[in-house]
Structure 1
Amino acid sequence: MDDQNRNLILATALSFAVILVWFLLFPPPEPTTPPETAQTEVQATESGTTTGVAVPSGTGEQAGTPQIAPVETKTRAQALAQTPRVPIETARLSGSLSLVGGRIDDLSLNKYHVTIAKDSPNVTLFTPAGAPEAYYALYGWAPAGGLSYDAVPGPTTRWEVESGTTLSEDNPVTLRWDNGNGLIFRRTISVDDHYMFTMTQSVENTTGDEVRMAPYGIIARHGTPTNLKNFYILHEGVIEMADGELEELKYKKVVDLPVDPGERAAAERRDISSNGWIGFTDHYWMSTLIPDPGQSFTSVTKYTQGNDTFQTDVRLPVMTVGAGTTEQMSTYLFAGPKEWETIRYYQNDLGIDRFVDSIDWGWFFFLTKPIFRALHFLHGVLGNMGLAIICLTLFIKALLFPLAYKSYVSMSKMKKLQPEMERIKEQAGDDRMKMQQEVMALYKREKVNPAAGCLPILLQIPIFFSLYKVIFVTLELRQQPFFGWIHDLSAPDPTSILNLFGLLPFAPPGPGSFLAVFSIGAWPILMGISMWLQMKLNPAPTDKTQAAIFNWMPLIFTFMLGRFASGLVIYWFFNNIITFTQQFIIMRSQGVKPDLLGNMFGRLRKKTKAQ
């Protein structure tokens, strides 16, 4: 075998490991920040330092929005008890909204729990200002045309309930505030049977003059979330759709934005002509401000260093409210899990542009999307996501079988020629040029292409990464059980060889221990064995160094995949088993009789005799 072909096979076999390491160490480049846009702000006279918001200063026609200000840290329960509240009770959501500012700042997800333990609490999405890791949505009006902030409701305004006692699917709540000078503001909040709020803000002008103002919505997060995965293949931070263009900014990139003098903070502003949304995305959860499709608006991403607060704004155009008239504007707020069916429904039914892309499909979106849809369909049919992964493995192997067949036939021929290649190597001795010439002549005579086995492996690499992306990113695999000890396919195998898979009376080392890398579960070990069996069917390299590398690869991959999601390891195990079965049958049909253990024991006997 000449150096070129030998290196090709080696590179193919090792490409999986190389790409994996590269993918983990060198993330894709972050989106570039577009040029800053100019914006002026209106005069402000109000501040809200006790509740986490302060308004901007300046004058002009384009209205500004409040900024987040420092707050006193309390427990979550103390922060909730500080303000009067209206309960939120739906089948999927529970919490409350504060009558101070009319904020949605207390929200839990009824269907989702923090862990798989039976007594695990529900996942908390929103938390009020003043509590650790405050995270909430607030709405208001920014004055324009000489109107002052005293004349419009702001973050500290105390609303009264005009109608409704509990916000639920069939019972909206309307809040009312009278500024005492002829302007009456109402905010009607409704929620559907999933996770979409509709915020309708109206102003009734009973004065004798027209007034000008602009509605806005804000989602604020106090501090960088502590539960970030910080993994390169997952985006966590600000996510925005701006006229068909998806923009993603991690928290550290928001901190590094250039300072906007008008915002008095690191900020980025975009004028969106017709379709867009903006908010924060976590691993599985998301909060998003969504104007009506076709509505123009200004989106703002902001970080205030003094109080370590992140903020996303939707600023709607300035409205003129004539004397004796009423004007209103409606926007949406999504606050919940990134369920594919749910957000696809909102995309199709409400016309929210590319809302499904709020799921981080990654570089290989052309593979991750169909792979997820296939898994989702199979899960619906079979009722078990692990079985869906196995069925998907069978489908992928069937799809690639025509290429695999040619590859296995070529490998069978090379396996048949192994004794002849060993003879050529012995005869050539140290004359590598002569050995390569004779090997190439042998390939040509027997019509063997040594590179034919590379293509199926190369095709498996993007499929493997796409499946890994789907398992790691999508909510539908979170806490999905398989059989036996696998209760969460998105988490690593919980067993460990260090305590003999639970037979010894002590727990294996946790992730913080240096021994954790050796804490390999049962499924990764099975995967390593299946990989060893599959590789033993392939013709062994004539070069001793390459042969040693190939022999170590199953062990290396066992440790590499040991802490990966168990769903991915199960996929790789069954992929290896199917590959082994296909290759074994094809090799037998080509007259090659693999003798896996016999070859190993034969080499041991030969080594013993030599000694």
Structure 2
Amino acid sequence: MENQRNLLLAVVLCGLLLVGWEAGMNYFYPQPEKPVQSEATVQSDNAAPAPAGSPANIDAPAAAAAQPVDLNEALTAPERIKIDSPEVLGTINNVGARIDDITLKTHRETVDKDSGPVRIFSPEGTATQQFAQFGWIGEGVAVPDAETVWQTEGSALAPDTPVTLRYDNGEGQLFTIELSIDNHYMITAKQTVANTGTESGGGPIVVRPYSFINRTDRNAAEGMINVHSGPIGNFDESVQFGPDYDDLAESASEGRTEGRAAWLGFTDIYWMSVLIPEDGSDAQTEFRSLGNQIFRADMIYQPVTVGAGKQVTRTTQLFAGAKESAILNEYEAAGVNLFGNAIDWGWFAIIAKPIWWLLTHLFGWVGNFGLAIIGLTVLIRLVLFPIAQKQFASMAAMKAIQPKMKAIQERYKDDKQEQQKKIMELYKKEKVNPLAGCLPILIQIPIFFALYKTLILAIEMRHQPFALWLKDLSAPDPAHVLNLFGLLPFEVPGLLAIGPLAILLGVTMWLTFRMNPTAMDPIQKQIFAIMPWMLMFVMAPFAAGLLLYWVTNNILTLAQQTYLYSRHPQLRAAAEKEKADKAAAAAREAKG
């Protein structure tokens, strides 16, 4: 009766764990009710006032339009300058010198092959607004602003053909912005102000070149407990992920940056837009909330005096594209400090990076990331095989001393402290380590979490198919049993969204537990009988690639256990005896 009560309690606790897990997943991994579409429209607010002397005291955006801005209409203006490079397509708005239209040729919005390209930048006022602007703050001089119409030289921005924007203020100063782009995602802006006045007519002027990135968080990737989405930057040789958009909106102090900035901007899980100041400069930086879910990353250079007949240039780089590890590392090698660390690998970076490297190389050989994950699992099991042999040897030794352990337990059943002392002496005498069987599991934990980080962070895994219905290994298994794998027209609740991979995980784990010869009391056995099915529900919402890894690992464990049983016949005999004892006990219970 006591065992039945304990089993019922274990079942209830498992059920509470499942419900709590579902609530926790919804809290830490919230999903937007309706994803924002590029064609949708929203109303933008004017920039909030900034305190004097703040780097945010930059020319504010133009007043919000009376009506929301339609993306297609905003991009049809004839004065726009085309951007066309191997990986980037877009336009530049010569009103305000804004780069506000960038799409990525090599990345799609969804897994569908006819899906449109990923959009990084959109004009102000649109649903997905995000843009970069370059300009100057002037003291006693007329500087261009957000409404300035710049004169252009060059018909299209391409790797071999830069374009130049010019503005003459009519007071003796000429402002130019020369833009160039490389073969990936980096745009370079050379801001020059020339003081064409004479010593007797006009004299020197003082200006501060600036740049900023303005974006909404409406289309931002949902941040997770271990993956950041929002402001990012490298300050004093340290990449900082934060603050979150919500924290920045609640407190202006959250956006203050400390230390010399090597770069700053905004990041999603797969995409990023950041500003990189000129080498050796001491640019002032800050993150700001402008209200109405609009945020800005500001970078302003120190004041410079431009004498009559002189000119001053500041060069700023703008990265707007995908966080492809190889490309980020290229830019880091070219001088953008710690740029590869813009991918938030976290504590498991020392394991996650080698796993990413190995996965991508396996993919290069086999041409399928599902097969690459299976190959990775096989390699890991081969590396851990010697440890598994020691584990089984320890299990065999544990089985061999079971009669002695039972004698000690019986002899000292009324003195638990002495019982534990004698058992430890027995372990030492027989040279048995009862924790040896835990080592392979402990080693697997960091590998599992490192692979999890790789699947959700590495853009190389995004939209990668395996076979049949698995079109995206970085997303959960889309097939659900309860709606007959999509044949019935209803969405399965998250707690019950069990797919074929999750079922395979539960079945293979149950089989591995059944083959485990470690002695357990009845309650432990009952809990281990429930655990595979509990994990089936817990793991179902995770990336399909992660489940594929675990299922493959379980299958290899079964094969490995079968082989090692042949090497340790006492384990096989013990398992068969245990099975026979269970059958006999069941027969007696049926008769009684």
Which bin holds the TM-score, normalised by the shorter protein? 0.7 to 0.9
Question: 2:84 and 2:574 mapped to 1: Cα distance?
Answer: 65
- Tell me, yes or no, if the aligned pair for 2:566 and 2:572 is still in contact at 8 Å: yes
Question: 2:54 and 2:338 mapped to 1: Cα distance?
Answer: 32
Match of 2:148 among 141, 157, 164: 157
Q: CA deviation at 1:395?
A: 2.5
Tell me the secondary structure at the aligned position of residue 456 of structure 1. helix
Match of 2:208 among 196, 205, 214: 214
Match of 1:240 among 208, 216, 233: 233
Q: Who is 1:344 aligned against?
A: 329
Q: CA deviation at 1:282?
A: 0.5
- Tell me, yes or no, if the aligned pair for 1:200 and 1:330 is still in contact at 8 Å: yes
Q: CA deviation at 1:542?
A: 3.3
Q: Who is 1:257 aligned against?
A: 251
Tell me the secondary structure at the aligned position of residue 180 of structure 1. coil
Q: Residue by residue, what CA displacement relative to the aligned partner does 1:271-330 show, whole Å, maximum 9, x if unpaired?
A: 51xx6100000011000101133332111111123x432100111122221211222111
- Written as runs of structure 1 = structure 2, the 5 A alignment for 1:360-509 is 360-415=344-399, 420=403, 433=416, 443=427, 446-501=430-485, 505-507=487-489, 509=490
Does 2:521 match 1:528?
no
Q: Residue by residue, what CA displacement relative to the aligned partner does 1:200-230 show, whole Å, maximum 9, x if unpaired?
A: 11112111211110111100113x2345323
- Written as runs of structure 1 = structure 2, the 5 A alignment for 1:48-87 is 64-68=57-61, 71-72=64-65, 73-81=68-76, 84-87=79-82
- Tell me, yes or no, if the aligned pair for 1:52 and 1:129 is still in contact at 8 Å: no
Q: Who is 1:136 aligned against?
A: 131
Does 2:183 match 1:193?
yes
Q: Who is 1:6 aligned against?
A: none
Question: 2:52 and 2:221 mapped to 1: Cα distance?
Answer: 39
- The structure-2 alpha-carbon separation of the partners of 1:595 and 1:173, relative to structure 1 and needing over 3 Å to count, comes to farther
Question: 1:567 and 1:438 mapped to 2: Cα distance?
Answer: 47
- The structure-2 alpha-carbon separation of the partners of 1:597 and 1:139, relative to structure 1 and needing over 3 Å to count, comes to farther
Tell me the secondary structure at the aligned position of residue 572 of structure 1. helix
Q: Who is 1:555 aligned against?
A: 533
Q: Residue by residue, what CA displacement relative to the aligned partner does 1:116-171 show, whole Å, maximum 9, x if unpaired?
A: 11221111111101212311111101113xx24xx11122211111x211112222
Question: 1:231 and 1:57 mapped to 2: Cα distance?
Answer: 31
- The structure-2 alpha-carbon separation of the partners of 1:455 and 1:176, relative to structure 1 and needing over 3 Å to count, comes to same
Give percent identity, aligned residues only.
37
Q: Residue by residue, what CA displacement relative to the aligned partner does 1:385-408 show, whole Å, maximum 9, x if unpaired?
A: 222222222222233333322112
Match of 1:277 among 254, 263, 274: 263
**90-99 or 431-440, larger mean C-alpha shift:** 431-440
Q: CA deviation at 1:528?
A: 1.8
- Written as runs of structure 1 = structure 2, the 5 A alignment for 1:108-127 is 108-127=103-122
Kindly tell me the number of residue pairs found equivalent between the two proteins: 551
Q: Who is 2:298 aligned against?
A: 313
Question: 1:57 and 1:559 mapped to 2: Cα distance?
Answer: 50
Question: 1:548 and 1:577 mapped to 2: Cα distance?
Answer: 22
Q: CA deviation at 1:51?
A: 9.1
- The structure-2 alpha-carbon separation of the partners of 1:53 and 1:195, relative to structure 1 and needing over 3 Å to count, comes to farther
Q: CA deviation at 1:586?
A: 2.0
- Written as runs of structure 1 = structure 2, the 5 A alignment for 1:544-583 is 544-583=522-561
Q: CA deviation at 1:23?
A: 9.9
Q: Residue by residue, what CA displacement relative to the aligned partner does 1:461-482 show, whole Å, maximum 9, x if unpaired?
A: 1111111011111111001111
**69-78 or 544-553, larger mean C-alpha shift:** 69-78
Question: 1:331 and 1:552 mapped to 2: Cα distance?
Answer: 59
- The structure-2 alpha-carbon separation of the partners of 1:300 and 1:422, relative to structure 1 and needing over 3 Å to count, comes to same
Amino acid at match of 1:466: A
Amino acid at match of 1:472: I
Question: 2:432 and 2:205 mapped to 1: Cα distance?
Answer: 84
**439-448 or 224-233, larger mean C-alpha shift:** 439-448
Question: 1:113 and 1:475 mapped to 2: Cα distance?
Answer: 12
- Tell me, yes or no, if the aligned pair for 2:50 and 2:56 is still in contact at 8 Å: no
- Tell me, yes or no, if the aligned pair for 2:91 and 2:101 is still in contact at 8 Å: yes
Question: 1:562 and 1:154 mapped to 2: Cα distance?
Answer: 52
- Tell me, yes or no, if the aligned pair for 2:517 and 2:575 is still in contact at 8 Å: no
TM-score by length of 1: 0.82
Amino acid at match of 2:196: T
Q: CA deviation at 1:416?
A: 5.2
Q: CA deviation at 1:414?
A: 2.9
Q: Who is 2:36 aligned against?
A: none
Question: 2:51 and 2:461 mapped to 1: Cα distance?
Answer: 49
- Structure 2: segments with no counterpart, 5+ residues: 1-9, 29-42
Tell me the secondary structure at the aligned position of residue 364 of structure 1. helix
Question: 1:156 and 1:270 mapped to 2: Cα distance?
Answer: 32
- Tell me, yes or no, if the aligned pair for 2:399 and 2:574 is still in contact at 8 Å: no
Amino acid at match of 2:531: M
- Tell me, yes or no, if the aligned pair for 1:367 and 1:463 is still in contact at 8 Å: yes
- Structure 1: segments with no counterpart, 5+ residues: 1-9, 28-49, 260-265
Question: 1:314 and 1:58 mapped to 2: Cα distance?
Answer: 15
**131-140 or 428-437, larger mean C-alpha shift:** 428-437
Question: 1:176 and 1:159 mapped to 2: Cα distance?
Answer: 6
- The structure-2 alpha-carbon separation of the partners of 1:60 and 1:421, relative to structure 1 and needing over 3 Å to count, comes to closer
Does 2:278 match 1:325?
no
Q: Who is 2:31 aligned against?
A: none
Tell me the secondary structure at the aligned position of residue 593 of structure 1. helix
Amino acid at match of 1:586: L
Question: 1:51 and 1:485 mapped to 2: Cα distance?
Answer: 41
Question: 1:169 and 1:405 mapped to 2: Cα distance?
Answer: 57
Question: 2:405 and 2:143 mapped to 1: Cα distance?
Answer: 88
Tell me the secondary structure at the aligned position of residue 483 of structure 1. coil
- The structure-2 alpha-carbon separation of the partners of 1:63 and 1:404, relative to structure 1 and needing over 3 Å to count, comes to closer
Does 2:289 match 1:303?
yes
Q: Who is 2:589 aligned against?
A: 610
Q: CA deviation at 1:26?
A: 10
Q: CA deviation at 1:81?
A: 3.8
Q: CA deviation at 1:604?
A: 5.5
Question: 1:61 and 1:443 mapped to 2: Cα distance?
Answer: 69
Q: Who is 2:516 aligned against?
A: 538
Q: Who is 1:33 aligned against?
A: none
